[in-house]
């Protein structure tokens, strides 16, 4: 017998809670920490694991937003970065869009752990995003570039 | 987020308070380079009050490590929490740096 979700026994499940954060910031790295704090708070409210809130989300989101500012928008203060975070009890989906031309994620991925790469001063950003999120993909958009990252709630 | 610099004997100790990320990494780099220019040789960066570090922050630590070594100096890191240890392990930077569990152990290792 299926579980009755409502008092009238209709069996319709209650709507799942979804929290959404949508922001547009200028191309200025000084805004990154505030964006990260907002998203972390939503994840905290949805009961995500402390380690996801203290490590996975802030580091991966910082990387994505700084890539959008510095590489996508080439640090041009006239350009903006859009961040959308959708959090529910199953997953966090982060989308970061910029006004640049985008990049090939696979071709840009450097494994900093390979011999010869360990003492590089750059090249760890995408690797960390990949390591700390369950998926990272480029999304086709009519204008600019967008990266989507998904983290399953632990 | 801020950085404070103190001296413990011959060692310049830098405390990283808050995050070490793209927005403030240059500040840390400049503070350490200024000390290096003054002739300091022994550096300890203490992360006991640090939240998270991004790839830019890690890159600055690598850069400082090289510059300190080039000047005949030494760099130690101390008090990495579990999250920071994970970052260093993922990127294999735990093999590049001398990392101590505590500030005292780091100071004794010079």
Q: List, in order of start, the domains of chain B with CATH numbers.
A: 2-108 (3.30.750.24)
User: Hey, are the CB atoms on A118 and B91 less than 8 Å from each other?
Assistant: yes
Distance of residue A59 Cα from the nearest chain B Cα, in angstroms: 6
Q: Retrieve residue A95's tokens.
A: 């989308």
Q: What is the CATH number of the domain that holds A68?
A: 3.30.565.10
A64 CB-contact burial (10 Å; exposed 0-12 / middle 13-18 / buried 19+): buried
Instruction: Tell me the pLDDT band of A1, cut-offs 50, 70 and 90.
Output: very low
Q: Which of A25, A55, A110 to mutate to test the interface with B (most CBs of B within 10 A)?
A: A55
Residue A53 included in any domain:
yes
**Per-residue pLDDT tens over the stretch A4-23:** 555 555 666 666 799 999 99
Residue A111 included in any domain:
yes
Strand partners, A84: A22, A95
User: What residues in A contact B62, CB-CB < 8 Å?
Assistant: 119-121
3-state helix, strand, coil split of chain A in percent (to 5) is: 35, 25, 40
Residue A10 included in any domain:
no
Of A100, A145, A17, A61, nearest to B19 by C-alpha is A61
Domain count across chain A: 1
User: What residues in A contact B1, CB-CB < 8 Å?
Assistant: 33
B74 alpha carbon, distance to own chain's centre: 11
Q: Mean pLDDT check: name the lowest of A10-19, A65-74, B41-50.
A: A10-19
Asked if A32 reaches chain B (Cβ–Cβ under 8 Å), the answer is: yes
Q: Kindly tell me the sign of the dihedral angle through the C-alpha atoms of B25, B26, B32, B33.
A: positive
Q: CA-CA distance, B100 to B107, in Å (whole number)? A: 9
User: Would strands B98-100 and B50-53 be described as parallel, antiparallel, or unpaired?
Assistant: unpaired
User: Would strands A145-152 and B2-8 be described as parallel, antiparallel, or unpaired?
Assistant: unpaired
- The ipTM assigned to this model is 0.93
Give me chain A's average pLDDT, please: 90
Structural domain of A126: 19-152
Q: CA-CA distance, B58 to A112, in Å (whole number)? A: 11
Q: CA-CA distance, B17 to B3, in Å (whole number)? A: 6
Mean pLDDT, rounded, for B19-40:
96
Distance of residue B5 Cα from the nearest chain A Cα, in angstroms: 23
Is pTM beyond 0.80? Reply is yes
User: Hey, are the CB atoms on B52 and A59 less than 8 Å from each other?
Assistant: yes
């Amino acid at each position: 017998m299926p579980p009755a979700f409502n008092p009238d026994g209709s069996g319709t499940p209650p709507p799942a809670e979804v929290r959404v954060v949508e922001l547009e910031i200028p191309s200025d790295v000084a805004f990154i920490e505030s964006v990260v704090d907002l998203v972390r708070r939503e994840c905290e409210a949805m009961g995500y694991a402390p380690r996801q809130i203290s490590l996975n989300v802030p580091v991966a989101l910082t990387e994505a937003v700084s890539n959008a500012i510095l590489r996508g928008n080439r640090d041009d203060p006239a350009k903006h970065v859009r961040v959308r975070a959708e959090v529910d009890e199953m997953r966090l989906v982060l989308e970061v869009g910029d006004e640049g031309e985008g990049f090939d994620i696979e071709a840009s991925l450097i494994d900093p752990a390979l011999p010869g790469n360990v003492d590089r001063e750059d090249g760890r950003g995408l690797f960390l995003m990949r390591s700390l999120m369950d998926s990272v993909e480029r999304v086709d958009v009519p204008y600019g570039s967008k990266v989507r990252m998904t983290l399953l709630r632990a | 987020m801020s950085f404070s610099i103190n001296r413990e004997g011959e060692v310049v100790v830098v405390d990283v308070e808050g995050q070490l990320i793209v927005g403030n990494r240059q500040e840390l780099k400049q503070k350490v380079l200024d000390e290096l220019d003054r002739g300091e040789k022994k550096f300890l960066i203490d992360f006991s009050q640090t939240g998270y570090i991004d790839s830019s922050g890690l890159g600055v630590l690598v850069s400082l490590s090289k510059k300190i070594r080039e000047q005949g100096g030494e760099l130690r890191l101390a008090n990495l929490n579990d999250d920071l240890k994970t970052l260093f392990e993922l990127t294999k930077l735990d093999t590049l740096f001398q990392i101590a569990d505590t500030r005292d152990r780091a100071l004794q290792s010079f």
